């Protein structure tokens, strides 16, 4: 990688290269797990700003009085959820290969927040339709019965939930927002493991946290001791409306 104390020179070198006009879009696929699940969207934005500078990516800056790096993130992820599949689009205005961009960025990142792919975007963020999640619910005892209960409740529409909107609280049925769901009991850790695909388009979006809340409300699970009962959510994949993998 770049030796220390040479990044400023490296930036100067890149600046001398031929400018790409208009700037080129680059898509970064990244992972956000472990400690990073508690990093908010705004904090993540700030972090990427610095990472891109540290990595000497020939990034394009907006014009005007206060030039800044343009970062466009895909589907929002709530604080407390992890992800193997986040997307961020940036623009570069000097030539650099996707492989090099990835290598440079990962040099400035940690295992818990790192780039897993870099490519020229194929699909548009507006084409996103669904997101797949793995959820793990840790409870004390009765997990097997709980898995059964969850299965039952998830096929009985409606499953009503209060959704906070700008126009006030709204009661909605979340069942139509669940594309598929698979609930299993796992004896390894005594957990209920759920794999689900939820609606994730710009207009219809089901936050997996809301699914957990619905289960909490209707089954009374996860209500007591946080040290023994908790859940994890990991976003696994993003799909388009036709269920083709988003690229």
Q: CB nearer to other proteins: give 120 or 230.
A: 230
Distance from C-alpha of 185 to C-alpha of 192, rounded to nearest angstrom: 5
From residue 225 to residue 244, the character string flagging contacts with other proteins as x (rule: CB under 8 A) and all else as - is -xx-xx--------------
112 binds other proteins (CB under 8 A): yes
Write out the binding residues for other proteins, residues 57-76 only, by CB under 8 A.
Answer: 61, 67
Contact between residue 124 and residue 87 where contact means Cβ atoms under 8 Å apart: no
Binding test (CB under 8 A) with other proteins, winner from 17, 72, 79, 202: 79
Task: Give the bridge partners for 50, in sequence order.
Answer: none
Contact between residue 159 and residue 242 where contact means Cβ atoms under 8 Å apart: no
From residue 9 to residue 38, the character string flagging contacts with other proteins as x (rule: CB under 8 A) and all else as - is --xx--x------------------xxxxx
223 binds other proteins (CB under 8 A): no
The angle that helices 143-155 and 208-219 make with each other, rounded to 10 degrees, is 110
Q: SS3 for 27? A: strand
Q: CB nearer to other proteins: give 52 or 135.
A: 52
188 binds other proteins (CB under 8 A): no
Contact between residue 238 and residue 179 where contact means Cβ atoms under 8 Å apart: no
Write out the binding residues for other proteins, residues 116-175 only, by CB under 8 A.
Answer: none
Q: Any idea what DSSP says for residue 131?
A: E
Q: CB nearer to other proteins: give 3 or 99.
A: 3
Distance from C-alpha of 61 to C-alpha of 169, rounded to nearest angstrom: 40
Distance from C-alpha of 56 to C-alpha of 228, rounded to nearest angstrom: 45
Sign for the CA dihedral angle at 57, 131, 201, 120 comes to positive
Binding test (CB under 8 A) with other proteins, winner from 14, 20, 24, 53: 53
Q: CB nearer to other proteins: give 63 or 156.
A: 63
Least distance (Å) from other proteins to the CB of residue 131? 20
44 binds other proteins (CB under 8 A): yes
Q: Where do we find the tokens 């990595």?
A: 55
7 binds other proteins (CB under 8 A): yes
Distance from C-alpha of 149 to C-alpha of 217, rounded to nearest angstrom: 13
Q: SS3 for 99? A: helix
Size of the site for other proteins (CB under 8 A): 38
User: Which residues contact other proteins (rule: CB under 8 A)?
Assistant: 4-5, 7-8, 11-12, 15, 34-40, 42-44, 46-47, 49-54, 61, 67, 79-80, 108-110, 112-113, 226-227, 229-230
């Amino acid at each position: 990688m770049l030796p220390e104390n040479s990044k400023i020179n490296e930036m100067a070198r890149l600046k001398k290269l031929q400018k790409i006009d208009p700037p080129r879009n680059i898509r970064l696929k990244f992972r956000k797990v472990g400690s990073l699940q508690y990093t908010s969207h705004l904090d993540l934005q700030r972090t990427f700003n610095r990472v891109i500078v540290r990595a000497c990516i020939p990034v394009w800056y907006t014009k005007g009085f206060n030039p800044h790096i343009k970062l466009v993130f895909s589907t929002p992820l709530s604080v407390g959820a992890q992800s193997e599949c986040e997307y961020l689009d940036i623009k570069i205005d000097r030539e650099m290969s996707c492989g090099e961009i990835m290598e440079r960025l990962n040099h400035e990142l940690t295992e818990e927040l790192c780039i897993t792919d870099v490519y020229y975007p194929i699909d548009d963020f507006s084409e996103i339709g669904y997101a797949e999640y793995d959820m793990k619910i840790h409870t004390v005892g009765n997990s097997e019965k709980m898995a059964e209960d969850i299965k039952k409740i998830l096929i009985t529409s409606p499953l009503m939930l209060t959704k906070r909107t700008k126009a006030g609280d709204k009661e909605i049925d979340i069942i139509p927002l669940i594309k598929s769901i698979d609930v299993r009991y796992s004896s390894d850790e005594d957990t209920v493991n759920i794999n689900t695909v939820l609606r994730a388009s710009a207009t219809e979006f089901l936050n997996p946290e809301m699914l957990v809340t619905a289960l909490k409300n209707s089954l009374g699970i996860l209500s007591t001791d946080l040290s023994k009962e908790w859940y994890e959510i990991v976003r696994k994949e993003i799909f388009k409306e036709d269920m083709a993998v988003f690229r």
